[in-house]
Structures are given as structure tokens and as C-alpha cells.
């Protein structure tokens, strides 16, 4: 039995942060019911500029395994009553509308808490449920820009660069999972649920550990460093004879091991590079002095030589190379998921492994409204709606 078996989650969210949060809960065994607008569903179903075989985009497929789907028009009284019936059976609800939208649809926290006091209600928004920016529309790019992340990313003197991975969206999803699980544990003692308020802005800011430390420690806002590190040097990408690789000599022991591997023991007593603090302060001079040395060997030679000395190092792979690597295969990070329309499609595996209850794909990403009759029948069986409501709510 998976750890979250018996926990029911209502996924009333779209696009990335909310669906990713709910998928992670589903991967751990939660019964996730995805509640979507009629006809169009989650807007990610029609996003991206390419398709596989069916109408649903690969982006939707990547974010919605281990869920069942029912479409409800929450602007109608009849479908809101079905939502309320589902809320009576639920442990968690996740929504990611702009603050106030859920309340206007009759599914605000106070409304649903009155129906089910044990409900853990998670809201994921651009800037949170309070504060002067709360009503601003929120996208990952905006969160990265206004949190400071954009200002510290890229190369010195270059135009603004966002992180390639959407840290605001995915970070908010992860923080929401953390809050939801904490609230579920707390409910065991209190007997009551609570509201979880997560935002893209605070996720991006909350991940800015080194950057805020530099600001408060020096009084200066961090500037872009390319691939270099704010707290350690050398720790970045450098150019070998045939391309770039990365390595990190992030403490004094590794620094000395690196000098030995690089045959640059002359730098051991250079006062500019005597300590890690000195090397960080003189990072540009350090890399300049090492540039001719790196040009003497290939990427493969450098990686092998540094690893042999215990210095962390690696080539720079693109996603095709990374996903084709033996290590990814050994860690089962690519899986083929059977699907009623696609036949099968590739998806990322589970990034956390559980020894005794390994995750599994119990449901492929659902077709829109695929599980309507099944979900309504469960509500009838529990006596939460009448059979006539099921008949009225069944759409062709």
C-alpha cells in the first residue's frame, strides 16, 4: 500500500504548479480527482506547439498521471452541488486561481471548510493570498523577475536571463506538497484541516538562499555570475580543448586535490587563492590563470582525471544525452506509460525512491471527463447525491 493510499485529493487547478503538486500526491497513492471545465478542460491540454497522436499536449500528459477526470461547470448550481459532495469525501483540495476567483465560484476556503472541517485547502497563486501584489496575475517569468532571481541569473553585463527550469512554478508545487503533508499530519492531532497558501513569488524567493545571504552579508545585491558559485571557487563551467565541462573544488581539501590533478601546485601558495574566501573574491583572476591549463586536455580527460582525485566533475549534457545515459536507465528515470489514445508515451520517472512502497503509474493521464460515471456512481453509493442527480449530470 502506497503511503498516501486512502487520501483523496481534488485537483481544481490548471497548467503547471497545481497539477504538478497533485500528480506528486497521486504518485504516492492519493486518489486524485481532476475537476476540469467542460469541453476544454485544463488549458494545458491544448498548449505547446506539437502533439503526439491525440489531442492532449505532451505538457498535459507530463503533469497529470495518476488522476481521474470529471468535468464540472462550477458556474452552475447543479455542478457546484456535485463539487460539494466530492468535498465531503475529500482530504485535500488544490486550486490555483487568482485570489478571490475560487470564492466567486462558490468554492472558497471558508465555504468548503463549513462543509468539511477536516479539509486541507491549498491555494497556489502568483503572489499569495494577501499583500499589495496579491491580485497581480502570476506567471513563472514574473515571479523570477520580481523575486530577484532574474537579476542574478545569466552572464555579467548580459540581458536578463531566466532559469531554464521554471523554479517559481515547480517550486510552488513542491512547497505546496510540503504544506499539505504537514497539514495532514497536524490534522491527526487537531482533527481539523487548514489552509495552505503557496505562491510562485515566495517559492522563487524561498529558493534564493545564497543570494539573500550575500545581500545581507555584504549589503550588495548579487549580480549574475554565469555558472560560477557565490560561496565557493572554483565551482563552474570551464573550457577544455574540445568543449566545456564543470567541476567543483568547493573546499580546501578539494582545492589541493584539484591542483595536483591539474599539475598547478604553483597556485597553492598564491595569496590571491589561499582560502576559499580569497578564491571567491578573485574568481575572475583564478579562472583566467587556469584557462591555459584547461586547454591542454579534452573534456573526457579532465573529467576522468579529476574524478580519479576525488574532485567532483562532469561533462555538460543536453537533455537527449542525459536521458540516454546509463545512470538514468539504472535509476528508472524514463518510463513508458500506456495510454488509450497515444498507445504509449515517454515520461519522467519518479525522482524520489521509496524502498518498501515504490510508486507506480496506476492511471495514465486522463482523457477529459473520462471518469465521470465512475466518480458519480461512487457519490451515489455513499449517499451523497441521488441517482437522479447522476442521471442529470451524465453528459454524452
pLDDT band per the 50, 70, 90 thresholds, residue 394: low
Instruction: Give domain 235-316's CATH superfamily.
Output: formyl-coa transferase, domain 3 (3.30.1540.10)
Over residues 193-228, the pLDDT tens digits come to 999 999 999 999 999 999 999 999 999 999 999 999
Task: Give which of 389, 373, 388 is closest to 77, Cα–Cα.
Answer: 389
pLDDT computed for residue 270 by the predictor: 96
In tens, the pLDDT along 351-366 reads: 999 999 999 999 999 9
281-331 pLDDT per residue, tens: 999 999 999 999 999 999 999 999 999 999 999 999 999 999 999 999 999
Residue 266 appears among annotated catalytic residues: no
Q: Which CATH architecture has domain 8-207+329-393?
A: 3-Layer(aba) Sandwich (3.40)
Sequence-distant (≥ 6) Cβ neighbours of residue 216 within 8 angstroms? none
For 122-184, give the DSSP string: EEEESS-SSSTTTTS---HHHHHHHHSTGGGSSSTTSPP---SS-HHHHHHHHHHHHHHHHHH
Q: What is the pLDDT of residues 111-131, one digit of tens each?
A: 999 999 999 999 999 999 999
- Total residues found in the chain within this entry: 396
Question: So where are the chain's domains?
Answer: 8-207+329-393, 235-316
What is the pLDDT, as a whole number, of residue 396?
41
The catalytic position among 169, 263, 278, 336 is: 169
> What are the pLDDT digits (tens) for 236-266?
999 999 999 999 999 999 999 999 999 999 9
Amino acid at each position: 500500500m502506497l503511503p498516501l493510499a486512502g487520501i483523496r485529493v481534488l485537483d481544481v487547478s490548471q497548467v503547471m504548479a497545481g497539477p504538478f503538486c497533485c500528480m506528486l500526491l497521486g504518485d504516492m497513492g492519493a486518489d486524485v480527482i481532476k475537476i476540469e471545465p467542460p469541453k476544454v478542460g485544463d488549458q494545458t491540454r491544448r498548449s505547446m506547439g506539437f502533439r503526439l497522436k491525440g489531442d492532449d499536449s505532451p505538457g498535459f500528459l507530463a503533469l497529470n498521471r495518476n488522476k481521474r477526470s470529471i468535468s464540472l461547470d462550477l458556474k452552475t448550481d447543479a455542478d457546484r452541488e456535485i463539487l460539494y459532495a466530492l468535498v465531503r469525501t475529500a482530504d485535500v483540495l488544490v486550486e490555483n486561481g487568482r485570489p478571490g476567483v475560487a470564492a466567486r465560484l462558490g468554492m472558497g476556503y471558508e465555504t468548503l471548510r463549513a462543509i468539511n472541517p477536516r479539509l486541507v485547502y491549498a491555494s497556489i497563486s502568483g503572489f499569495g493570498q494577501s499583500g499589495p501584489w496579491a491580485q497581480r496575475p502570476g506567471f513563472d517569468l514574473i515571479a523570477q523577475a520580481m523575486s530577484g532571481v532574474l537579476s542574478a541569473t545569466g552572464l555579467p553585463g548580459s540581458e536578463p536571463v531566466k532559469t531554464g527550469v521554471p523554479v517559481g512554478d515547480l517550486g510552488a508545487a513542491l512547497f505546496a506538497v510540503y504544506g499539505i503533508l504537514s497539514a495532514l499530519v497536524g490534522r491527526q492531532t487537531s482533527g481539523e484541516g487548514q489552509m495552505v497558501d503557496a505562491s510562485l513569488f515566495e517559492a522563487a524567493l524561498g529558493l534564493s538562499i545564497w543570494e539573500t545571504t550575500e545581500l545581507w552579508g555584504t549589503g550588495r545585491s548579487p549580480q549574475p555570475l554565469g555558472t560560477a558559485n557565490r560561496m565557493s571557487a572554483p565551482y563552474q563551467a570551464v573550457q577544455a580543448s574540445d568543449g566545456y565541462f564543470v567541476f567543483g573544488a568547493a573546499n580546501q581539501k578539494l582545492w589541493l586535490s584539484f591542483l595536483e590533478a591539474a599539475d598547478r601546485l604553483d597556485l597553492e601558495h598564491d595569496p590571491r587563492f589561499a582560502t576559499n574566501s580569497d578564491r571567491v573574491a578573485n574568481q575572475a583572476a583564478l579562472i583566467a590563470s587556469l584557462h591555459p591549463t584547461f586547454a591542454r586536455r579534452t573534456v573526457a580527460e579532465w573529467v576522468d582525471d579529476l574524478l580519479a582525485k576525488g574532485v567532483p566533475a562532469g561533462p555538460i549534457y543536453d537533455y537527449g544525452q542525459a536521458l540516454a545515459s546509463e545512470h538514468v536507465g539504472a535509476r528508472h528515470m524514463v518510463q513508458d506509460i500506456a495510454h488509450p489514445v497515444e498507445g504509449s508515451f515517454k515520461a519522467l520517472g519518479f525522482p524520489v525512491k521509496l524502498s518498501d512502497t515504490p510508486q507506480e503509474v496506476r492511471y495514465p493521464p486522463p482523457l477529459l471527463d473520462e471518469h465521470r460515471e465512475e466518480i458519480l456512481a461512487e457519490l451515489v453509493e455513499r449517499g451523497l447525491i441521488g441517482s437522479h442527480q447522476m442521471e442529470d449530470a451524465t453528459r454524452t
